[in-house]
Structure 1
Amino acid sequence: MEETELVMNTALLAGEILLENGAEIARVEDTMMRISTNEGYANANVFVLLTGITMSLPDGTATQVRPVHSRTLDLEKVDQVNTLSRQFASDEIDVPTFYQQLRQVKVAVPTFPFWLQLIAAVVVSVTLMLAFTGLHQWLVVLLTALAGATGYGVFYLINHELQIRFLSEFLAALVIGAIADAGVAWLALSRLAGDAVIIGALMPLVPGVPLMNAFRDTMAGNYLSGPARAVEAILSVCAIGLGIAIMVSLR
């Protein structure tokens, strides 16, 4: 592989990994430009959208387009790419090594196992339920933990098995609403307690990072990717809201 082609492929792969795993557009463009500049291509042209990356180098004979079909949230991979980029900038690794390590990051499985993610979902659900509602009843806390873990489990498994966008949020919200209503009926809790369970258990599903990235992209002048990312996050919120609305209407 020629040097120009290797530099372009390395920058494109770094940008693809960042974009697929939740990085904002400005970070993707900055990382790709730094890779090119460190190899002597300060006049590289990089154009990043939410669904693809276009790049050309001044000494290259072609422009490459890298489509991005799937997006998730894995800040561990974002951090790994940033670390490799810093090592490359400080001459700790060369371009071939950088490219090979990026390929390993691309195919790496998530660092945190499923059981640990469930524990994190329980902690987030219970903590935010207590913070938002102030209900400290042990039955409500336990029901929130159950609903949060089950809802996140449904969300995780559907995302990995079916890979149908927004279906996982919808079904997870349905399950959370069903558990909350069933708990209220069986444990003779108040309707306020059931609403508190729903509020807490939904927190692990809320697309907070995508919404923040949408705001940052828009403020940075990316008026295509910023609103597009916002629409994507809003659709996730609508799927969650629809699932809860259906369960509330069935009360």
Structure 2
Amino acid sequence: MAIEMSVSPATARRRRHLGSGLLVAGVLLCGLYFVPRSPALQALAQWAPALAAGFGQNILISLLAIALGTLAGLLVGALAISPLWLLRLPARLWVQVFRNAPWLVLIYFTTYVFPFEIPVGGLYVPFPDWVKVTLGLALPASANVAEIFRGAIASIPATQWEAARSLAFDRGQIFRSIILPQCFKRMLPPWMNLYAVITMGTALASLVGVHDVIDTAQIASNTVNQTGFTVLVYFSLLVLFFAYCYPISRVTQRLERRYAFY
């Protein structure tokens, strides 16, 4: 006679956490065992601070790019739904151009279209390459945010507009008090997914001379000059980007379930 045993969700969760803890402990123990014996791992340990600093540069570029892109995208998205075609047409053109332009082309464009120095009051202030890359990534980010914003507004049922007008709300009051609070909830999951994509796109920064994590890995690979180390250092970059972007993906999925609209 078979006996079925049910496991509560809390118990299953504790078992998963225990298994994850044991896996992490095993990886750490293996690292403590193999690092003193592997020249490639020893070299990676020496270059780890430089790689972490380079990855910090990538994160800074991604944060500034998504911030600038969000501000510009909300403005462009608002213009794209304007009843005036003189405002609507340029906004839609902006979205179509920068959503469909290759990111690498935009990065090269902003790198060479902006000067290396800006004259300010008789002084020449340097215009760093990483700022140009940030602007290059902010352009497609703004176009995507504008489209996310437009789609969120379009997803609001027309009956809410009609009900608000019947209560004597004007267009501005309807937009601020009723439509926008719902739009921001609907925009949050795709916006976070866009940020993860922007973060991965920062790997292109090294192609225009930015000293980021990819450039640091190339310097480390050329300095150590070992095939095993080269494979290991680029695998470490995969782990870095995965460790940073995967939690964002998981939070995005939870928000999609939480703010699901049927």
Query: Which protein has the bigger helix share?
Result: 2
Q: TM-score, normalising length from structure 2?
A: 0.28
Q: Could you say which structure has the greater relative contact order, defined with CA pairs below 8 angstroms and 6 or more residues apart? A: 2
TM-score by length of 1: 0.29
Which of these two proteins has the greater Rg computed from alpha carbons? 2
